[in-house]
């Protein structure tokens, strides 16, 4: 075995390694490590005095001071030849390729599930305008999926305690408000308009952090908010089917999700729960919070009447729409939380921006949403501002 020793000319010379006998008063162990399996009776040989090459030290015995003065530990020092390659081959290309493929698969799955959810969610809300029950069903479907996964051991059962639930509660409250507000918005306005307004979430994040948490940001971050706010305002003013409830729902959703992220960062530090189980626990707790409010706001009577009307107009496909929007809501959120375990926040922000673009474009094409050129320009400016914000915030 060969070990390296770094040296300087002032502290090391040939005399340092001369094989002389040294008097030893008491036998004791040296603090140097034991080096074994080295050839015996080697000689000191310094090949070069260059300071640029590392010095390698090979020892004939263990670094234990001898019990007898006649015994010596002989060492050999020589400099490494830089032209000689090590017989160690580490191939990381396969690992990097696998990681890139995994991240790409997460992104593609995330975008696809989100697009499908928004399409079926809008179809359900057009035929069944009860956003509180629709929001409850999506949380219930996700909770049921995870409970079955835990019971069948398909997914690892999370180890939670009271401290975990206590930290998760404010996150769940904010998540519930944001989810319901977004669903209310999409029940009143086009999916594209809701997502254009929701692209302004970074502006809410900066403003809340600045005025509520006292956190200061560099000037480029504030400048990146101008196109976001301007683009959202331009789209809102030129929206053909503008609705104040739909607009306010999207704005409240932005604010709620910002507080959800803040509570999550503050309360979940040190909690060792995977992204999948974290969102599963969040869904179950949000369902418990939302259910009594949904019953109070809408109620079973309205749900029964609305369900009969929707089934009579749409047919059995309406049931499939409800199931699809509920399942795909959970799946796309679960994949997004799993993505956070694999990628950096910057990559996630870029992916979120691209996801929103795909949802806006797809919803316009499928639902034939009327769109003025100036409205499309506002959407493009807002999304560009979101992209610039994601770049600037992670560079400072």
Is it the case that residue 267 has pLDDT exceeding 90? no
Residue 384 structural domain: 102-393
Considering 53, 85, 117, which residue would you say is the last residue of a domain?
85
Do 242 and 349 sit in the same domain of this protein?
A: yes
User: Going by DSSP bridges, is the β-strand pair 55-59/75-79 parallel, antiparallel, or unpaired?
Assistant: antiparallel
Q: Identify whether 96 is part of a domain.
A: no
Do 123 and 261 sit in the same domain of this protein?
A: yes
Do 67 and 114 sit in the same domain of this protein?
A: no
* Predicted structure pTM score: 0.72
Q: Identify whether 54 is part of a domain.
A: yes
Q: Identify whether 92 is part of a domain.
A: no
Do 202 and 251 sit in the same domain of this protein?
A: yes
Q: Identify whether 284 is part of a domain.
A: yes
Residue 356 CA to residue 199 CA, distance in Å, equals 8
Q: Identify whether 91 is part of a domain.
A: no
pLDDT value of position 97: 72
Residue 125 CA to residue 239 CA, distance in Å, equals 20
Q: How far is CA 208 from the centre of its chain?
A: 21
pLDDT value of position 9: 47
Strands (DSSP E) contained in the chain are 3-5, 55-59, 75-79
Q: Which of 61-65, 138-142, 326-330 shows the lowest mean pLDDT across its residues?
A: 61-65
Q: Provide, rounded to the nearest whole percent, the portion of the chain with pLDDT above 90.
A: 36
Considering 55, 85, 115, which residue would you say is the last residue of a domain?
85
- CA angle, 240 then 253 then 265, to 5°: 150
Do 15 and 120 sit in the same domain of this protein?
A: no
Number of other CB atoms surrounding residue 102 within 10 Å: 13
Residue 152 CA to residue 356 CA, distance in Å, equals 35
Average pLDDT rounded to a whole number, residues 128-136: 96
Q: 3-state class of 179 per DSSP?
A: helix
Residue 321 CA to residue 316 CA, distance in Å, equals 9
Q: Identify whether 354 is part of a domain.
A: yes
Residue 72 CA to residue 59 CA, distance in Å, equals 11
Structural domain tally of the chain? 2
Do 278 and 152 sit in the same domain of this protein?
A: yes
Do 213 and 331 sit in the same domain of this protein?
A: yes
Considering 59, 85, 111, which residue would you say is the last residue of a domain?
85
Do 164 and 244 sit in the same domain of this protein?
A: yes
User: Cβ contacts of residue 312 below 8 Å, gap of 6+?
Assistant: none
Do 125 and 156 sit in the same domain of this protein?
A: yes
Do 68 and 108 sit in the same domain of this protein?
A: no
Do 148 and 285 sit in the same domain of this protein?
A: yes
Q: Which of 33-37, 315-319, 352-356 shows the lowest mean pLDDT across its residues?
A: 33-37
- Mean pLDDT computed over every residue of the chain: 78
User: Cβ contacts of residue 60 below 8 Å, gap of 6+?
Assistant: 38, 39, 40, 41, 42, 73, 74, 75, 76
pLDDT tens for residues 241-263?
A: 889 999 999 999 999 988 988 88
Q: Which of 167-181, 185-199, 269-283 shows the lowest mean pLDDT across its residues?
A: 269-283
Is it the case that residue 2 has pLDDT exceeding 90? no
Average pLDDT rounded to a whole number, residues 148-159: 90
pLDDT tens for residues 74-127?
A: 444 444 444 444 444 444 455 677 777 777 777 778 888 999 999 999 999 999
Do 46 and 125 sit in the same domain of this protein?
A: no
pLDDT value of position 22: 47
Q: Identify whether 94 is part of a domain.
A: no
Q: Identify whether 208 is part of a domain.
A: yes
């Amino acid at each position: 075995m060969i070990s390296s020793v770094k040296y300087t000319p002032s502290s090391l010379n040939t005399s340092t390694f001369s094989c002389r006998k040294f008097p030893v008063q008491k036998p004791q162990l040296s603090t140097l490590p034991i080096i074994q399996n080295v050839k015996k009776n080697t000689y000191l040989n310094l090949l070069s005095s260059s300071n640029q090459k590392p010095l390698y030290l090979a020892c004939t015995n263990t670094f234990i001071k001898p019990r007898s003065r006649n015994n010596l530990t002989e060492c050999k020092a020589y400099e490494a030849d830089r032209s000689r390659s090590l017989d160690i081959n580490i191939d990381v290309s396969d690992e990097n390729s696998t990681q890139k493929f995994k991240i790409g698969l997460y992104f593609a799955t995330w975008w696809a599930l989100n697009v499908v959810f928004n399409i079926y969610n809008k179809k359900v809300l057009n035929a069944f305008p009860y956003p509180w029950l629709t929001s409850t069903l999506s949380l219930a479907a996700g909770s049921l999926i995870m409970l079955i996964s835990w019971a069948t051991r398909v997914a690892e059962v999370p180890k939670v305690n009271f401290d975990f639930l206590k930290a998760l509660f404010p996150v769940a409250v904010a998540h519930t408000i944001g989810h319901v507000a977004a669903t209310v918005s999409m029940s009143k306005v086009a999916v594209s308009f809701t997502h254009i307004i929701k692209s302004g979430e970074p502006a809410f994040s900066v403003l809340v952090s600045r005025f509520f948490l006292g956190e200061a940001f560099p000037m480029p971050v504030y400048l990146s908010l101008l196109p976001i706010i301007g683009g959202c305002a331009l789209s809102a003013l030129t929206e053909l089917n503008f609705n104040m409830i739909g607009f306010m729902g999207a704005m409240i959703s932005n604010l709620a999700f910002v507080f959800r992220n803040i509570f999550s960062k503050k309360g979940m530090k040190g909690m060792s729960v995977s992204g999948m189980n974290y969102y599963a626990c969040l869904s179950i707790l949000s369902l418990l919070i939302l259910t009594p409010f949904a019953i109070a706001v809408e109620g079973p009577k309205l749900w029964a009447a609305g369900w009969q009307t929707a089934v009579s107009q749409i047919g059995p496909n309406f049931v499939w729409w409800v199931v699809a929007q509920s399942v795909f809501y959970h799946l796309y959120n679960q994949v997004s939380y799993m993505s956070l375990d694999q990628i950096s926040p910057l990559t996630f922000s870029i992916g979120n921006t691209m996801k929103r673009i795909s949802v806006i474009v797809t919803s316009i094409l499928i639902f034939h949403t009327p769109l003025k050129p100036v409205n499309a320009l506002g959407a493009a400016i807002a999304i560009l501002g979101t992209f610039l914000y994601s770049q600037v915030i992670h560079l400072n």
